[in-house]
């Protein structure tokens, strides 16, 4: 079939297998062009491994350090006229590249919050690797079924303690509009922390530790975002921020148990999650303009390679006062934020593409789904059904 993007808001309901493969190949090529990671990981578990920062982590570990990797994700294969999800195509491309390189790679498709998936991953580690020396927590999900109680929690994007009115970007209409967000209830906060906070990370590490599959000195990190003034009300001081602060709590608990645990702060990039958060698309579009002009712009793969090289596997890791790894330092530089803050009130629907890099934002968003990647013929007929090797499928049958 000929596959074209079908976009509404922050959702694209189609994905392009050749485009996703080319996008993965670009990231692999970038890592191969960098110096080999000294003392890098060799046996890696990535929870949330199929897109964005999780995919970049798996690529960096495998092709920057020769690591064996196990990826956990929740994706769907193609069915009839429906394409597979982008994460399915991404993982299939990664698997093919890993096999070509002679690298071990296993894939578990299912609910990472569940006890069953944790148990299956432990079985695979025991049988194939013995132990792991790095666990990446990069899970992004809007809801969670609690593995013990069965209670379903849904996250929300709300400020805490006050309503917030702020300009933002309607990505469908490419227009600037005012967004109003009412304050969260305590239930909203608790639910968001239950989904996006540190409880499941702790559960993974406890299960892995009790099973004896954590190597001595094993590192673990969970990804977060801090941002600055413009995004603070809706992000760090909102329900999502409450969940991200809970990651700091969890990291402290894990360190108290003798595990080398840290939270890693990454810069704002285009993801499905960031596209869904009011204010962030406009902030990112302006940020991209500023950082590209000064030559400091980075995407997921550049960020993660630096995280591994400069923080996780550096003899002089860069930690802040809260014991977080920081590779967002180029974004939060005072000069960069001052430039963004100066542009922010000037942006209108009419000058959006002049004062911001919305075209770059849109391009990066489409690339998430394999569209707009250089060298791909989007008029060609392609097979949407792409096999994914070394897969353990634990998704519920429909």
CB-CB contact of 197 with 112 (8 Å) = no
DSSP state, residue 82: B
Conformational region of residue 251, where left means phi above 0, alpha means psi within -120 to 50, and beta covers everything else: alpha
DSSP state, residue 345: G
Counting beta carbons within 10 angstroms of the beta carbon of residue 167, is it exposed (0 to 12), middle (13 to 18) or buried (19 or more)? middle
* Helical segments of the chain, H only: 17-33, 52-65, 86-101, 115-124, 186-196, 199-210, 229-232, 239-256, 272-276, 280-294, 300-306, 334-343, 352-355, 358-367
Closest listed residue to residue 225, CA positions, set 240, 203, 208: 240
Catalytic residue selected from 223, 235, 283, 305: 235
Q: How far is CA 397 from the centre of its chain?
A: 26
Q: What CA–CA distance (Å, rounded) separates 50 from 24? A: 10
DSSP state, residue 319: B
Q: Does the annotation mark 104 as catalytic?
A: no
Counting beta carbons within 10 angstroms of the beta carbon of residue 33, is it exposed (0 to 12), middle (13 to 18) or buried (19 or more)? exposed
Q: Please report where in the chains the tokens 């964005």 appear, as a residue.
A: 52
Neighbour tally for 383: CB within 10 Å: 9
Residues with active-site annotation: 235
């Amino acid at each position: 079939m000929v596959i074209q993007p079908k976009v509404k808001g922050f959702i694209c309901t189609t994905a392009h297998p050749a485009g996703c493969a080319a996008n993965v190949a670009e990231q692999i090529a970038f890592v191969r062009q960098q110096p080999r990671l000294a003392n890098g990981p060799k046996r890696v578990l990535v929870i949330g491994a199929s897109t964005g920062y999780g995919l970049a982590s798996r690529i960096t570990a495998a092709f920057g350090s020769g690591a064996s990797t196990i990826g956990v994700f929740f994706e769907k294969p193609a069915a009839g006229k429906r394409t597979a999800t982008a994460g399915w195509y991404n993982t299939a491309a990664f698997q093919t590249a890993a096999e070509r390189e002679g690298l071990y790679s296993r894939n578990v498709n299912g609910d990472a919050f569940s006890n069953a998936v944790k148990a299956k991953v432990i079985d695979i580690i025991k049988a194939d690797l013995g132990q792991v020396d790095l666990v990446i927590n990069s899970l992004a999900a809007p809801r969670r079924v609690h593995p013990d109680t069965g209670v379903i929690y849904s996250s929300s994007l709300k400020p805490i303690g006050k309503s917030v009115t702020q300009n933002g970007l309607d990505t469908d209409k490419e227009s600037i509009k005012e967004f109003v967000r009412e304050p969260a209830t305590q239930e909203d906060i608790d639910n968001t922390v239950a989904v996006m906070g540190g409880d499941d990370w702790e559960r993974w590490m406890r299960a892995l530790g009790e099973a004896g599959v954590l190597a001595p000195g094993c590192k673990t990190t969970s990804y977060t975002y801090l941002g600055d003034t413009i995004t603070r009300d809706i992000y760090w001081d909102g329900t999502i921020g409450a969940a991200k602060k809970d990651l700091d709590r969890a990291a402290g608990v894990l360190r108290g148990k003798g595990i080398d645990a840290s939270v890693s702060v990454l810069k704002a990039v285009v993801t499905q999650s960031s596209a869904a958060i009011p204010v962030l698309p406009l902030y990112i579009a302006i940020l991209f303009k500023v950082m590209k002009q000064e030559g400091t712009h980075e995407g997921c793969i550049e960020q993660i390679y630096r995280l591994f090289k400069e923080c996780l596997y550096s003899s002089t890791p860069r930690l802040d006062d809260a014991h977080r790894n920081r590779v967002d330092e180029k974004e939060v530089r005072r000069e960069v934020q001052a430039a963004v803050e100066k542009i922010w009130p000037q942006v209108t629907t009419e000058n959006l593409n002049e004062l911001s890099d919305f075209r770059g934002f849109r391009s990066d968003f489409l690339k998430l789904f394999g569209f707009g990647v250089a060298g791909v013929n989007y008029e060609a007929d392609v097979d949407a059904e792409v096999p994914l090797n070394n897969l353990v499928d634990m998704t519920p049958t429909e």
